[in-house]
Structure 1
């Protein structure tokens, strides 16, 4: 068995969605003064590698803390879209190229290669994003979740959050953003564990996402 960490580290200078404050990690107790170390974490619920719930967009829809925990674990597939250039779309052809595995997977993760731009201004640029046809596939196939290695499932210029609305209006799916190390997973099915911080009425939360590869 091989375990791969798919999570970016939370830090005070990490990339955050435009308009969002960076997290603060304040040491409030120290070894010298208190005999132990303790850190006060202050951050938005959609910081770093994180998960969006349907309640992120729609009132009365499902929050992360109300999902059964099984929602966050399942069979997953990374689909390589790293040939796409800036602003190009992840079309249904990427699904069709691995259709049998995609149909079997409960989570579809798209690798665009954008993770290589983490900690640069280019990370906030015109990253690849899925088409509505791909969103329809995710809805119709009743996936547990979809994930990408970019800062949002909608293009950065879409303030209407069209794809978020489409997915969350029609299904109980979770959206994972800012994934890391997808290039290390390969193209076979694997077990994904993407466990969100559990707090009351969670519209979204940072996660620790890992890939478990059998027979490695």
Structure 2
């Protein structure tokens, strides 16, 4: 069995979405001066690899701790969408055979890397999000810090709302080392009544067993 870490490392110099706070990590106890080493960690709810809760885009939406845990574990597909330059559209997804309830979108973002935030990242359109819902996808993940177009106006807001209403949305995945194909996905967020939460996400390759 092979386990592939598809999470961003949380650090003080990591990229964050514009307007979000950068992480702060401070040691307040330190061996050998103290008997233990302990740190204070301050991060935004949408830091690095994280899940969106519906409350992120809807005032009375559910929080992270209310999301069904089945949405964070199970058979998944990594779809090769690296040929999509600007966005992932419905037609791009119609070319794929979607067989699992968890779908991760590997786009050109994975080729560019996650060392810095790019405003021109590849994103998911409203039609594409609705197509995934029609295919009974319960969880969608993408390899940048947002599922929808940066500063995309009402269309982006609608796509974000529709996706979060009908699916669990995971953002900030590092799919650079994940080949397209079938895996088992596991990624549990913090149990917290908030609009989002970081998670440690992995792919389990059972073909290596």
TM-score (norm 2): 0.91
Answer whether contact 1:124 1:156 (CA < 8 A) is retained.
no
Answer whether contact 2:53 2:67 (CA < 8 A) is retained.
no
Q: Which residue is equivalent to 1:2?
A: 2
Q: How many residues align?
A: 205
Report Cα offsets for 1:74-102 as digits up to 9, x if no partner: 211111111233xx121223322222xx1
Q: Which residue is equivalent to 1:166?
A: 162
How far the C-alpha of 1:140 sits from its partner, in A, is 2.1
Answer whether contact 2:73 2:187 (CA < 8 A) is retained.
yes
Q: Check if 1:185 corresponds to 2:170.
A: no
Q: Which residue is equivalent to 1:106?
A: 101
Greater displacement, 46-55 / 107-116: 107-116
Report Cα offsets for 1:5-45 as digits up to 9, x if no partner: 00010000110110112010000110122211111000110
Q: Check if 1:141 corresponds to 2:143.
A: no
Answer whether contact 2:64 2:191 (CA < 8 A) is retained.
yes
Q: Which residue is equivalent to 1:126?
A: 120
In 2, Cα distance between equivalents of 1:18 and 1:159: 15
CA separation of 1:28 and 1:83: change in aligned 2, threshold 3 A: same
Runs (5+) with no aligned partner, structure 2 = none
Q: Check if 1:28 corresponds to 2:14.
A: no
Q: Which residue is equivalent to 2:188?
A: 195
TM-score (norm 1): 0.88
